Amino acid sequence: MATARLAPWLLLLVCVLSVLRTESVDVVNTIVTDAVKKGAVCLDGTPPAYALHKGVGDAANNWLIYLEGGGWCATEAECVFRTTKDVGSTKRWAVEKSSLIAMLSDQESENPYFYNWTRVYVRYCDGSSYVGDREKPYVVRYHDVDPGNNTTVYFRGARVFKAVMEDLLEKGLKHASNALLTGCSAGGLGALLQCDNFRSILPEKAKVKCAADAGFFIDGTDIYGGHMHRERFAQIVQTHESQKNLPKSCTSKMDASLCMLPQNFVADIKTPLFVVNSVYDTWQIENILMPVKKDQLAVHDEFASCGHDIENCTCDQVKLWRGFQSEFYQALAQLNSSSSNGMFINACASHCQTQKQETWFGTSTMPKLRDRPGVGEAVGEWFVNDAEMRRVDYRTKTPLVCEYNPEEPHWNNHYTFRGTNLFNPAYTLADEIKRKTSLIPRCPAEIPAYFQQPLLCIAGLC
């Protein structure tokens, strides 16, 4: 009897584990010790690090360099805190390995376009998207409490990037036939900001391109009717003294703090560029659309349940979602219309789609996500075969379910299957999408078609 009662639960466990199962390769990290004498150090003064997995055969001279993300520290106090974390120090990476998955996988079935390339994962430890360069460090003195244990914080993101690239050039990057600089979130923004610099250090005959995943942060209007996030970007630029490494074409026209926002500088990037993003990027929804404003907590709290699930929204709140979506499309229109540039813009409630197998190239447990070219195919075809790839889902007005990990109950999963679905294996992805798209028929509104490219369909829903 007990065995019979357990059977459905065991079946469910197998299903859940199959969702999570992906192949990974564990790589010993390279610590760039020579970078210290160049002043190219992490926030805590440790040298930068990266994980390199050598390519195979003719593909060994093809390089994919992935910049890790992890937000920013906007104030000296925040940067001090980050010195105790992986995003501010490489102490842990000197003794532990990095696991490469999804876009960095060495499995052909999971990463068919880049699996046999030389793949590099650059650890993020500077808090500035790799563009800070402040000469004078910040010293925290503990005086009578602990006078011999001061903390020194460095702001050297641009030097870190340069030192890592110099080290990789000597490891074979200088002989690259093909090279792709990419990254996620703050790393994706770093790939945009450093794109043309990256092109300049490589052989002229090499094919060089850049791609940004979840790094196209927009200057969007928040739920209070302002642009509160501008203050944070201004703090980041000021604290790290990043202005000297931001695009001159932008800083010559506007305040440097606005030149960390891609819509204000992507038109001037000369190297072929690809943008992977969701119009419902979960980080941007939480931090740009609905940031916490201390003097308007009531407004934030009123919107919070809507921000976590559009099912809870009033029609006025739905307008805020759709307004943000519209602003995203307008910002994206600033990308140079050259046929060498590409984009894959969907409505997945996600952040960093190149770092998760189910959003990068799908899995057997997430069927039908690849009826049309998905993220992996889009980026691969654009780079390898120089295909014109501009896929934009501008008709879907609510977040779509594109990933599900029950072991990670964080913001990225607020739009995924409801908890009760864990107990109902018959409840499918298609069921959830149907539910989400039928939530707000009482709030009709059309999103302007800023792009006339073919419609992107996900899971058969257009």
Condensed to tens digits (0 to 9), the pLDDT of residues 326-339 reads 899 999 999 988 88
Q: Is residue 414 part of a domain?
A: yes
**Residue 462 token pair:** 């257009």
Whether residue 431 is found in the same domain as residue 305:
yes
What residues act catalytically?
Answer: 185, 281, 351
Decide: 280 and 349 in contact? Cβ < 8 Å. yes
Whether residue 167 is found in the same domain as residue 292:
no
Whole-angstrom distance, CA of residue 76 vs CA of residue 426: 51
Whether residue 92 is found in the same domain as residue 178:
yes
Region 351-379 average pLDDT: 70
The model's pTM: 0.85
- Ranges 291-305, 355-369, 378-392: which has the least confidence: 355-369
Range of the domain at 243: 229-263+275-462
Condensed to tens digits (0 to 9), the pLDDT of residues 84-128 reads 999 999 999 999 999 999 999 999 999 999 999 999 999 999 999
Q: Is residue 118 part of a domain?
A: yes
Whether residue 56 is found in the same domain as residue 181:
yes
Whether residue 191 is found in the same domain as residue 233:
no
Q: Is residue 310 part of a domain?
A: yes
Condensed to tens digits (0 to 9), the pLDDT of residues 421-445 reads 333 445 555 665 565 555 544 565 4
- The answer to whether the Cα torsion of 399, 403, 404, 408 is positive or negative is negative
Whether residue 167 is found in the same domain as residue 37:
yes
Whether residue 206 is found in the same domain as residue 233:
no
Whether residue 257 is found in the same domain as residue 188:
no
Whether residue 111 is found in the same domain as residue 75:
yes
Name the DSSP class of 285: I
Whether residue 314 is found in the same domain as residue 441:
yes
Length, in residues, of the chain = 462
Whole-angstrom distance, CA of residue 116 vs CA of residue 55: 5
Q: Is residue 4 part of a domain?
A: no
With a cut of 70, say whether residue 407 has pLDDT above it: no
- Ranges 32-41, 208-217, 278-287: which has the least confidence: 278-287
Question: Distance of CA 401 to CAs 27, 358, 369, 430, 459, Å?
Answer: 32, 11, 10, 9, 10
Q: Is residue 15 part of a domain?
A: no
CA angle 192, 402, 428 (to 5 degrees): 175
Higher pLDDT, 415 or 338: 338
Q: Is residue 460 part of a domain?
A: yes
Whether residue 119 is found in the same domain as residue 233:
no
Whether residue 45 is found in the same domain as residue 138:
yes
Domain count, the chain: 2
Q: DSSP letters of 357-368?
A: HHHHT--TTSTT
